[in-house]
Structure 1
Amino acid sequence: MAGVIAGLYVITDSAQQAVADAIRGGAQVVQYRDKSADTVRRKEAADALARLCRGAGVCFIVNDDVALAAAVGADGVHLGQDDSSVAAARAQLGSRAIVGVSCYNSLERAADAVAAGADYAGADYVAFGSVYPSPTKPQAVRAPLSLFAEARALTDRPLVAIGGINATNAAAVRAAGADAVAVIDGVFGADNVEAAAAAIAKQFND
């Protein structure tokens, strides 16, 4: 199972060729995020992406949908504030599954997410954002880069930054303490997806 949450973490709604290009450019984590109600299409897309990532040795995460993650054999799931609890996700996916949690700009939520319960380990990684204005979620709460140093004082789990990240600002995000950057438009909105991915991934290669 691929399981390292680091470097370039791309988020997609299913474009397989673009994801393959991003992986060639250096993406280490792929998250499938599709909020549509078309369960058949979502299952087919998730299956295809799971196979692609498995073949490339890249970590595959499903957003929100624990049942879908289990059905396609994903490496794990990413949970938002209205989704399942970490404990419930682990109960369904097993102890080896990767569970990530969106913490927006809340250190309290991050501390709660990584705390171990009686019967489960805490979240494997926590995500903060939007660190920059995001074309995908323009109304998203903003999370200052200073939050990453504060979060590091709370946990040694990987810290993921999301929101408006591209090749021009990824280095600043890494310098602030992020272990990975979650990117949508900065990679998939580029004319050359592989080159855009490589430009961001190289910021984490030294």
Structure 2
Amino acid sequence: MALQYLGKKSLMKKSHIIATNMKNQLYVLTDDFYTPEETIISQVREILECGVKMVQFRSKKELKNERIADELIALCDKFGANLIINDDVNLALKLGAHGVHIGKDDGELKEARALLGDDKIIGVSCYNELNLALNAQENGASYVAFGAVFPTTTKKDTTSFNALNLVKFKEKLSIPTCLIGGINALNLASLLEYQADYLAIVSAAYKPLSTKENLLNLKKIIG
């Protein structure tokens, strides 16, 4: 994906950095099925009202809705949270999002960091590979994500990751880590001992109960 300088919507946005003083923080992703355009704003508001500080706007539509992304950024600003845009550095730059999350096919990390600046969050999917994470760390990543730790239905063609490996990976990493993939109320407790900085969830935020009930239940499990 070619990266282009599209200009920042606001040059006065405050810096958003990742708090690393707490482990096992919830990181909630949106989804085209679970958070349709008609309700995504109210759903993300509910997520933020539960104290979540990291939200990722993940849409697989070829043309993402800029109005929605812009509203989500403003909403996260209001709650002192971070809105991360998935797979679209240009959109994150254009709208002044708090950060972006990229995978191996989403452009060069160095180029993304140069475009976004030092105060923006850049997360990188590293699947099950320590070398990818070390390279990402070297080139300016804010955090690295590993997964899928469990089978998932919200993303196809995932790579499996044994969460036990996070312990030895963290010995070589100095930036925050994130676990993702199939995490829900039934298996969340089994991940807590590995002390990832972030536990990323998708469907578990939206089912089987209301978003608020689901998130409060997950936070209770974390303790």
TM-score by length of 2: 0.83
- The CA deviation string for residues 68-90 of structure 1, in whole angstroms up to 9 with x for no partner, is 11122111110101012221111
- The CA deviation string for residues 33-58 of structure 1, in whole angstroms up to 9 with x for no partner, is 1121234xx21111011011111111
Q: CA deviation at 1:138?
A: 5.1
- The CA deviation string for residues 151-194 of structure 1, in whole angstroms up to 9 with x for no partner, is 10111211101011112322321212311111110002333101
Higher helix proportion (structure 1 or 2):
1
Instruction: Note the residue ranges of structure 1 that are not aligned, 5 or more in a row.
Output: 117-121
Amino acid at match of 2:85: V
Residue of 160, 171, 175 corresponding to 1:153? 171
Q: Secondary structure at the match of 2:66?
A: helix
CA contact (8 A) 2:26 2:201 kept: yes
Separation (CA, whole Å) in 1 of partners of 2:179 and 2:150: 10
What is the number of equivalent residue pairs in this alignment?
198
Which range moved further: 166-175 or 92-101? 166-175
Residue of 115, 121, 126 corresponding to 1:92? 115
Identity %: 36
Which range moved further: 24-33 or 122-131? 24-33
Partner of 2:144: 126
Amino acid at match of 2:66: K
Counting only pairs closer than 5 Å after superposition, residues 117-196 of structure 1 correspond to structure 2 as 122-137=140-155, 139-196=157-214
State yes or no: 1:115 paired with 2:133: no
CA 1:195/1:148 → structure 2, altered by over 3 Å: closer, same or farther?
same
TM-score by length of 1: 0.89
Separation (CA, whole Å) in 2 of partners of 1:130 and 1:21: 26
CA 1:64/1:139 → structure 2, altered by over 3 Å: closer, same or farther?
closer
Residue of 4, 21, 25 corresponding to 2:46? 21
Hey, which bits of structure 1, 4+ residues long, moved more than 6 A?
none
Q: CA deviation at 1:204?
A: 4.5
Q: Secondary structure at the match of 2:56?
A: strand
Amino acid at match of 2:72: L
Amino acid at match of 2:185: A
Instruction: Note the residue ranges of structure 2 that are not aligned, 5 or more in a row.
Output: 1-14, 32-36
Amino acid at match of 2:52: A
Which range moved further: 81-90 or 14-23? 14-23
Q: Secondary structure at the match of 1:100?
A: strand
